[in-house]
Each structure stands twice: as C-alpha cells, then as structure tokens.
Amino acid sequence: MINSSEYIILTVSDNKDILEVVKKSFKDEVQAYSVITSGITGEVFDLIEEQKPDIILLDIDYGEDTKGLDLLMDLREFEMTMQIPVLVMSSSNRDIERAVMFGAGDFLKIPFDRLELTVRVKSLLSLFKLIEGITGQTEILEKKSSELEMKNAQLEAEKNKTDELLQNILPYEIAEQLKNKGEVKAKKYRMVTIMFTDFKDFTKISAELEPEEIIKELGVYFKKFDEITENHFIEKIKTIGDAYMCVGGLPLRNKSNPIDIVLAAMEIQQFMKEYNSLRKAKGHTVWELRIGIHTGKVIAGVIGSKKFAYDIWGDAVNTASRMETASEPGKINISGETYKYIKDYFICTYRGKISVKNKGEIDMYFVEGLKKQYREGDDPIIPNEKFQEKLSEF
C-alpha cells in the first residue's frame, strides 16, 4: 500500500478494451483507487481541472495518427498538467521513445497484463511522491538547522548529500534555484538550438548483441557525446534508448547556440567516423549516427514539484526530432531556421523543401564543414583564430 488516501487514475483512450482492463485491474486493490476515463479530446483538460487526477494513463497507439502524442505534448506544456505523471501505452517502440522524450514518466507496451499495469502505476506514483520529498528536503533541513543546534553536523551532512544529488541531476543554475527557493518556475526561451542523435538500424544491431554489450557500447558513445557538448556550453537533456538529446542556449541564454550545436555535431560525427574505423578493423559491427538540429522557442524547467528532472517542451523540440528522422547516416541535417544563423560560417548543401509529418514542407540542409576562411588548415571541423574572434562577438 502506498498510503491510506485514495488515488485518482485518469485513463485517456478511445479503445474501450483498454478502458475496461484498467477499471478491472484496480477494482479489487487494497489501496483505494478511483478510475475515471476520457476519450482523446480537448475536453480531457476540463476533466483534469475538475477531478485533479494523481496519474494519467494515456493511450498513444494510433499508428500513423499522432493525436495521442500531440495530447501528451499539450499535457507537458500547461502548468495545470505539468506536474501530473503520465504513463503512456503503445505497441510501437518508436512512439514510446518519442513519448518519453516528450515527458512521459513511464510506459506500457501493448498488449500488457493487469499485474504489469498495477505494478507500473504504483511504482510511478511512489516515485513521484519520493521525488516530491527530495525536492523539499533542502528547505526543511535549513529550517531545522536554526532550531536544532545540537544536530548541526548531521543536518549539514544530509544537506550536502541533497546538494550533490541535485547538481548531479540538474544544471548548476537550476540546482541552486531549487536549493534556495524550493522550486523552479518554468521559463520561456525565444532562441535555443536542439540536437537529436539516433543510431541507424539500432533495433537490428541490438538483436545481435547481448544486453551487456549494448549498454557498454552506448556508454562509450554517450560519454564522448557528453564530453563534446560540455566543451561547447551545451546542456544534455536526456538519453532514451539509443537517442541522445541536448540543447544550446539554456539555462544561461546566449546568441551563439546555433553555432555551438553545429560545432559539437561535427565533432560527434568525426568521433563516430574514427571510432567506426577501429571497430571495422576489429571485425565489429559499425554503428552509424544520424543527427538533426533545429532552432526555435521552448519552455524549460523542472516539472512542477514532482518531476525531478530538467526538461524542455515546445514545437521546436518536435521539429528537431523530425530533422533527425529526415537525416542520413553520417550526416548533420539542419532546418532552414538554424541555417539562417550559421550560413556565414559553414558550408551547407541545400536539400530542398522536404515534407515532414504534421509540419508540411521544411527547408533542410546538410552541414559539410567550416568555410575555408574559418577552418584551421584543411580540417573542416577545427575553427581557426579568425573564427574564434567572430564567435566571441556573440
């Protein structure tokens, strides 16, 4: 039992079978649960405002139809629903990956059994309650310290542990806000640049390797990606499966973020090229990487007081993801919006207007390297002193 209070579960689906399974699953539980249901429509927000559910189970299993994912993005953008944990349900691994990228707290692969459903829901509810407690721990400890002088040493030790945990999970500036104020309000950023990376044929590759090998290999790549992005003042947001997501221009705003992201992307593809040469020489499978980049507006912050992770939301995130999907192995695909900011410094190949799902046609470009006047010698990815002087102007 989580606690003695009743939990309200909102199940959002147009599938009557799923709605019925959820109702039956929690009917005989010792813990008190109230299951309410809704179709995937805009009216769900009225129901949320009225019933104030503790968790939302969202069905996103619609093949080419993305209305479930679209609703998830709306749920993550509105203050009223930001802090409510969302568990998505789908038969598509790709849709599940995207859903987690867009802020889902957990997932269920359709078909699922009733036991798995109840365990996942209870775990997610317990996790969010735990996170809520951790978030307020620093403020509680600091209040206690003035009253309990005899326990100062113990409280200071606990405070340090909490601070270390915060700074390991969140950007330094955000961790400081959370520590000092007990909360972090979502902020709007008018100009950031988002990068998504994804490995070609990862499903096929993973089927040929043991789980330990997959984790080890992904660790090599993501560790290097982290090193590269940190050198360019880029904030890593998350990794989901084989996907890597990062953003430039927040939490500290700057105007150089399109250039910073493209420089990092070139270094990442260069690393992939060199590392794959070593793998190929050893007779190992070569992992090829697609990169997509877009510049636009986002909302960023820690979701309410329960979602203990720094994240970003907005149409620009979805567009950046589509840039990655439309990219090619070994290439860096950027939108026309990003191109406007980098065109004076980088050689780019225009791909034309390419149709993107739910977005219409978007101008896309492949980044080939730095222009000759800005590169060190003949290396297309290493900037020279002249370029550094230009970059410093931002």
Residue 299 sits in the same domain as residue 353: yes
Question: In terms of residues, how long is the chain?
Answer: 394
Q: Do residues 254 and 289 both lie within one domain? A: yes
- Asked, for residue 105, whether it belongs to a domain, the answer is yes
Same domain, 145 and 276: no
Residues 142 and 90 in one domain: no
Same-domain status, 159 and 254: no
Domain that holds residue 151: 137-181
pLDDT at 260: 96
What's the pLDDT at 1?
A: 40
Instruction: Tell me the pLDDT of the chain (394 aa) as tens digits.
Output: 445 478 899 999 988 999 999 999 988 776 788 999 998 887 889 999 999 999 999 999 875 677 888 888 888 888 888 889 999 999 988 899 999 998 898 999 998 988 999 999 999 888 887 776 776 676 677 677 767 666 666 666 676 666 665 555 565 556 666 666 666 677 899 999 999 999 999 988 888 888 898 999 999 999 999 999 999 989 998 888 899 999 999 888 999 999 999 999 999 999 999 999 999 999 888 899 999 999 999 988 776 555 467 788 899 999 999 999 999 999 999 999 999 999 999 999 999 999 988 888 999 999 999 999 999 888 898 999 998 888 888 7
Domain count, the chain: 3
Do 143 and 110 share a structural domain?
no
Determine how many CB atoms are found less than 10 A away from the CB of residue 130: 12
Q: What is the pLDDT of residue 4?
A: 47
Do 230 and 342 reside in the same domain of the chain?
yes
* Residue 341, number of CB atoms within 10 A of its CB: 21
- DSSP-derived 3-state class of residue 241: coil
Question: 108 and 40 share a domain?
Answer: yes
| Tokens matching residue 118 | 């109840």
Q: What confidence score (pLDDT) does residue 377 get?
A: 87
Query: Domain check: are 212 and 312 in the same one?
Result: yes
Which residue in 348, 329, 328 sits closest to 338, CA to CA? Answer: 348
Tell me if 2 is assigned to some domain.
no
| Separation between Cα atoms, residue 294 and residue 284, nearest integer Å | 33
Kindly report the CATH number assigned to the domain that includes residue 307.
3.30.70.1230
pLDDT in tens, 264-296: 999 999 999 999 999 999 988 889 999 999 999
The whole-model pTM stands at: 0.61
Q: Do residues 257 and 355 share a domain?
A: yes
Give the tokens for residue 302.
């820690």
Q: Could you say which of 165, 181, 197 is where a domain stops? A: 181
Q: Is residue 99 part of a domain?
A: yes
Any bridge partners for residue 234, and if so which? 248
Asked, for residue 155, whether it belongs to a domain, the answer is yes
- How many other CB atoms are found less than 10 A from the CB of residue 329? 16
Residue 1 lies in a domain: no
Contacts of residue 175, defined as CB under 8 A and 6 or more positions apart, other chains included, come to: 163, 166, 167, 169
Residues 164 and 217 in one domain: no
389-392: Cβ within 8 A, 24+ apart: 390/345, 391/256, 391/259
Q: Which candidate, 350, 391, 344, 390, places its Cα nearest to that of 367? A: 350
Domain-embedded: residue 249 = yes
Strand-pairing partners, residue 244, are: 197, 239
Indicate if 386 and 342 belong to the same structural domain.
yes
With vertex at residue 154, the alpha carbon angle to CA 151 and CA 155, rounded to the nearest 5 degrees, is 80
Is 297 a domain residue? yes
Looking at 63, 98, 129, the residue that finishes a domain is: 129
Residue 117 belongs to a domain = yes
Q: Of 57, 27, 34, nearest to 44 (Cα)?
A: 57
pLDDT for the residue 303: 62
Tell me the β-bridge partners of 300.
187, 312
pLDDT at 119: 92
